[in-house]
């Protein structure tokens, strides 16, 4: 059973976060399916289904990046305030 995102807010420990390259994203839903924190959602962007990330709940595990067959997800260093 997947976690409910409202129960698992990210703390300040995340070092890297995923960033979706919308030009490469095909909307295949693999990242959506593998995300253990249910923070990836599918949305219509410019008339096409694409993945989006709710960073409030993303832990930065980068499983989505590892599993993306189209290499549409990069990791970027988390900016700390």
pLDDT in tens, 4-51: 555 566 666 788 999 999 999 999 999 999 999 999 999 999 999 999
CA distance 65 to 74: 6
Give the ranges where 3-74 is alpha helix by DSSP (H): 30-34, 63-67
Domains of the chain: 14-72 (3.30.70.3270)
Which residues partner with 26 through β-bridges? Answer: none
Res 54: pLDDT: 94
Query: pTM for the complete prediction?
Result: 0.81
Closest CA to 29 of 17, 19, 43, 18: 43
Quick check: 75 pLDDT over 50?
yes
Task: Tell me which of 81 and 43 has the higher pLDDT.
Answer: 43
């Amino acid at each position: 059973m997947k976690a409910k995102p409202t129960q698992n807010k990210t703390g300040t420990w995340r070092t890297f976060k995923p960033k979706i390259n919308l030009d490469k994203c095909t909307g295949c839903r693999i990242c959506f399916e593998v995300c253990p924190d249910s923070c990836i959602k599918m949305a219509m962007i410019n008339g096409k289904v694409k993945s989006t990330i709710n960073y409030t709940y993303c832990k930065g595990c980068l499983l989505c990046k590892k599993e993306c067959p189209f290499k549409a997800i990069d990791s970027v260093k988390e900016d700390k305030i």
